[in-house]
């Protein structure tokens, strides 16, 4: 079979203006970036506000493994499958960060015959939203250090500064730095560091904002430090919030692309799910729901991560409620969750993974059972999507179907979206249609009025399966400070490893008898949440020993090669 990039480059995309017209956008609402991508004016949401909203479908997964389960592939492919059934469908997904693209994960456009086009543009810069966020974020950092240099009239405690700088590559050497070296004219020396752009609060704000004016208000509420007497200092205090918004005024508009079969894809924002809330924008979802019969969106990593935040953070903010959740799994990933196979990125797979092993599959399916329970706890109907691989056997798929149905799924359907495109997922799409008609009562995990520790404990015990939470002295102090400042009624965004239901990536399957360590709690007042740092999570990834970027180049005709 051809590689993903070869499949994408052999496709002939439709003019993006035709894609826009097909979903009901008017020419004045579409700002072209060449012939294959565009930005959509937010006025389209207002114009279509009287139209009934379409069905809202969110794609999640079991706890991910280094093998990759095909969640984005399924999300994009379902847009194609619904179109095959004659439905208007729009996929809404995040824009990839350049860190993973050139690091270990590669691109995030889907795979095989279920991809976003143009694949290279989608993975590399697109229309520049991430760079606008980086510019706005670093402008704030420059204003902050400039204020400290020119007399510090706000009385900022330099040791309280939480606003770091960002860059959209993985670079562990920038995790901790010292700014202001070289003499008095270069500013006040202090410790700081860099985060990756996807971890910037501005990225989370972009994903949660309702419109340009809400974006401006949220940016103005960002807390960057505190004064010596403990008062929060905001971007509004630094008089930089307006300029930051100006740099992001075009980034607030969703990007319109297409899938391999010419259906519409809205790409907007890209917050990481292990650090921030891991979902594409509310704006894109609302636009899609007013234009299509079905919106298929994706939440990052497993249901304990992206889906939990989709519900408790994103839906709480937007007021939207999902009609159905899709849980993606594979035979080989469930076998890995048995603990019988050790998979390491960049190393050859154990050949035994391709052999029928019903015992390993049955043991590893405990993770699927737990993730189904996690989604059902929110009152959302669940359809399990089994991504078919050539080495799978019918007996293995039948076992997964039986386990899923026993656990309370509405349906469990195998698909071949990778090899067959939309035609390989019509049965899955039909099952989702039926599930969307089921009565459901959307329920959140906690009330925002609960104390901070209670909200964190609710997520840890009800979603992750922990026996309890161990708060560090630093996290205890943070809760005290944020409660005193009046931020204790914000929802909580958990930052932990995505590779386990626990904080420890080595604990696969469905671990029990463990407690969640919370080492610190930080404030994202503009985004509107607190985030708890669990275990050894970092906000600036590092590159692997053999980065994916080593294989990326251009050929003699100037085409991109090596991107996957």
Pairing of strands 177-179, 190-192: antiparallel
pLDDT in tens, 320-377: 999 999 999 999 999 999 999 887 766 777 888 889 999 999 999 999 999 999 999 9
Helix 129-149 to helix 201-208 angle, to the nearest 10 degrees? 130
Q: In terms of C-beta density within 10 A (0-12 exposed, 13-18 middle, 19 or more buried), how is residue 435 classed?
A: buried
- Asked if the model's pLDDT at residue 463 lies above 90, the reply is yes
pLDDT above 70 covers a percentage of the chain that reads: 100
d(CA 414, CA 433): 16
Query: Are the C-beta atoms of residues 534 and 518 closer than 8 Å to each other?
Result: yes
- Asked if the model's pLDDT at residue 454 lies above 80, the reply is yes
d(CA 345, CA 298): 23
pLDDT in tens, 106-139: 778 999 999 999 999 999 999 999 999 999 999 9
pLDDT in tens, 51-73: 999 999 999 999 999 888 999 99
With cut-offs at 50, 70 and 90, classify the pLDDT of residue 220: very high
- Asked if the model's pLDDT at residue 306 lies above 80, the reply is yes
pLDDT averaged over the chain? 95
d(CA 43, CA 300): 28
With cut-offs at 50, 70 and 90, classify the pLDDT of residue 225: very high
Fold of 4-119+251-436: Rossmann fold (3.40.50)
The token duo for 362 is 């049955």
Q: In angstroms, how far is the first alpha carbon of the chain from the final one?
A: 14
Q: What is the pLDDT of residue 538?
A: 86
Q: What is the pLDDT of residue 1?
A: 76
Q: What is the pLDDT of residue 345?
A: 66
Q: How far is CA 56 from CA 59, 309, 383, 433, 471, in A?
A: 10, 16, 14, 11, 36
Q: What is the pLDDT of residue 347?
A: 72
With cut-offs at 50, 70 and 90, classify the pLDDT of residue 233: very high
What is the arithmetic mean of pLDDT over 430-456?
97
Query: Are the C-beta atoms of residues 457 and 495 closer than 8 Å to each other?
Result: no
The token duo for 471 is 């708060």
Q: Which DSSP letter does residue 562 get?
A: S
pLDDT in tens, 521-561: 999 999 999 999 998 888 899 998 889 898 899 999 888 98
d(CA 494, CA 306): 10
Q: What is the pLDDT of residue 266?
A: 98
What is the arithmetic mean of pLDDT over 37-52?
95
What is the arithmetic mean of pLDDT over 417-427?
98
What is the arithmetic mean of pLDDT over 431-452?
96
Q: What is the pLDDT of residue 168?
A: 96
Please state the CATH superfamily assignment of the domain spanning residues 129-244 in this structure. Answer: Domain 2, N(10)-formyltetrahydrofolate synthetase (3.30.1510.10)
d(CA 471, CA 109): 38
Element containing residue 366 per DSSP (H, E):
helix 366-376
- What residues does each domain of the chain span? 4-119+251-436, 129-244, 452-534
Q: What is the pLDDT of residue 537?
A: 85
The token duo for 335 is 């076998």
pTM, whole model, 2 decimals? 0.96
The phi, psi pair for 267, rounded to 5°, reads -115, 120
Architecture of the domain delimited by 452-534? Roll (3.10)
- Asked if the model's pLDDT at residue 41 lies above 80, the reply is yes
Picking from 197, 7, 2, 35, the residue whose alpha carbon sits closest to that of residue 101 is: 197
d(CA 225, CA 223): 6
pLDDT in tens, 264-277: 999 999 999 888 99
CA 228 to chain centre: 36
Cα 306-312-316 angle, rounded to 5 deg: 125
Q: What is the pLDDT of residue 346?
A: 65
Query: Are the C-beta atoms of residues 278 and 271 closer than 8 Å to each other?
Result: yes
Cβ count near 28 (within 10 Å):
10
With cut-offs at 50, 70 and 90, classify the pLDDT of residue 263: very high
Stretch among 91-105, 217-231, 466-480 having the lowest mean pLDDT: 91-105
């Amino acid at each position: 079979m051809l590689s993903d990039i070869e499949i994408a480059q052999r496709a002939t995309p439709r003019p993006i203006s035709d894609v826009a017209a097909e979903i009901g956008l008017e020419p004045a609402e579409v700002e072209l970036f060449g012939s294959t991508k565009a930005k959509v004016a937010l006025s389209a949401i207002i114009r279509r506000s009287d139209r009934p909203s379409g069905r809202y479908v969110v794609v999640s997964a079991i706890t991910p493994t280094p093998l990759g389960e095909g969640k984005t592939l399924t999300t994009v492919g379902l847009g194609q499958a619904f179109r095959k059934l004659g439905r208007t469908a729009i996929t809404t997904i995040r824009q990839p960060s350049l860190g993973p693209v050139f690091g270990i994960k590669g691109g995030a456009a889907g795979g095989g015959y279920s991809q976003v086009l143009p694949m290279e543009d989608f993975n590399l810069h697109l229309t520049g939203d991430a760079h606008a966020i980086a510019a706005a974020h670093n402008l704030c950092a420059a204003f902050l250090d400039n204020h400290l240099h020119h007399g510090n009239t706000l009385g900022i405690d330099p040791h309280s500064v939480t606003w770091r700088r960002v860059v959209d590559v993985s670079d562990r050497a920038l995790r901790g730095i010292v700014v202001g070296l070289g003499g008095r004219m270069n500013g006040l020396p202090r410790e700081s560091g860099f985060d990756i752009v996807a971890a910037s609060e501005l990225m989370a704000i972009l994903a949660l904002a309702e419109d340009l004016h809400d974006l401006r208000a949220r940016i103005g509420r960002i807390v960057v430090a505190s004064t010596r007497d403990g008062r929060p200092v905001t971007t509004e205090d630094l008089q930089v919030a307006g300029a930051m918004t100006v740099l992001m005024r075009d980034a607030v508009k969703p990007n319109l692309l297409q899938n391999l079969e010419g259906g519409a894809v809205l790409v907007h924002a890209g917050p990481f799910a292990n650090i921030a809330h891991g979902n594409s924008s509310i704006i894109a979802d609302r636009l899609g729901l007013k234009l299509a019969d079905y919106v298929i969106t994706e939440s990052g990593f497993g249901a304990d991560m992206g889906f939990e935040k989709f519900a408790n953070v994103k839906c709480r903010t937007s007021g939207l409620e999902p009609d159905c959740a899709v849980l993606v799994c594979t035979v080989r990933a469930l076998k890995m969750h048995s603990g019988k196979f050790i998979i390491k990125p960049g190393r050859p797979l154990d050949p035994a993974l391709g052999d029928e092993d019903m015992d390993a599959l049955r043991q590893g399916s405990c993770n699927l059972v737990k993730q189904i329970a996690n989604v059902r706890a929110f009152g959302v109907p669940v359809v399990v999507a089994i991504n078919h691989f050539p080495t799978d056997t019918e007996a293995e798929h039948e076992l997964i179907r039986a386990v899923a149905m026993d656990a309370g799924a509405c349906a469990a359907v195998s698909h071949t979206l990778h090899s067959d495109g939309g035609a390989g997922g019509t049965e899955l799409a039909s099952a989702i249609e039926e599930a969307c008609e089921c009565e459901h009562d959307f329920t959140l995990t906690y009330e925002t009025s609960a104390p901070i520790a209670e909200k964190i404990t609710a997520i840890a015990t009800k979603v992750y399966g922990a026996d309890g939470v161990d708060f560090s002295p630093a996290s205890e102090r943070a809760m005290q400070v944020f409660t005193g400042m009046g931020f204790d009624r914000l929802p909580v965004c958990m930052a932990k490893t995505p590779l386990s239901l626990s904080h420890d990536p080595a604990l696969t399957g469905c671990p029990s008898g463990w407690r969640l360590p919370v080492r610190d709690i930080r404030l994202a007042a503009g985004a509107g949440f607190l985030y708890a740092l669990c275990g050894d999570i970092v906000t600036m990834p590092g590159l692997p020993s053999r980065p994916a970027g080593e294989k990326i180049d251009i050929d003699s005709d100037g085409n991109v090669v090596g991107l996957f």
